[in-house]
Amino acid sequence: MTTAFFVTGTDTEVGKTLVSCALLHHLRRTHARVVGMKPVAAGTIDLPGGPDNEDAVALRAAGSLAVPRGLDNPYCLPLPLSPHLAARAAGQVISVDLLADRYRQLAALADAVVVEGAGGFHVPLNDTQTGADLAERLALPVVLVVGLRLGCLNHALLTAEAVRARGLRLAGWVANRIDPAMSSVADNIATLAARLGAPMWADVPRMAAPRPDQVVWLEGAGRD
């Protein structure tokens, strides 16, 4: 069976891509064909091969299996907006059915897949569905990235509650030290460890330049 995880976060810009890439590197130690998936990416940059999304590019670089872009990033939308708004501006409608089908095709090719969600768990994908609906459809164990800053306790606990309300298992969580000025970091991590009801997989220090291959994983991380 394919090992697979759905990575979500307490908010946008909390380090989901860094953690997803790090998890890909970690899984490459025990799996031959490892690939990342960014179902919906909003915001592109100009590259020699044409416009692309930075997160999708990073996931490809971290994996070990090359696949068509239509599989690992079905929706690459130009504007850096909430997915439903970025899709609307591009004259598209995001289909959860299509995303689930592309994931199934990808999983059939790989030994391990890391699916990185967009924004937070309930970010809107279209007029009626959110990232939570996609996670529920894929039915994968969830990894929660907690961006350590003021307010993260509430955001983390609410997200964990939302994950479980969808019948999904919170496989683990990662503390990402995004705010160098945050006070009582150790106490906040201890509070999360006591209340999230899932194992902590990694404590990621603030990095001047992201190095996903340097993230240290704790015992049991990446086991589904």
Strands 45-47 and 40-42: unpaired
Candidates 25, 26, 31, 38; catalytic one: 38
Q: For the chain, report the end-to-end CA distance as a whole number of angstroms.
A: 11
Q: Which amino acid is at 121?
A: F
Asked about 16 being catalytic, the answer comes back as: no
CA pair distance 185, 183, nearest whole angstrom: 6
Helices 152-165 and 185-195 cross at an angle (nearest 10°) of 20
CA pair distance 7, 120, nearest whole angstrom: 10
Based on the number of CB atoms within 10 Å of its own CB, is 81 exposed (0-12), middle (13-18) or buried (19 or more)? middle
Q: Catalytic residues, which ones?
A: 38
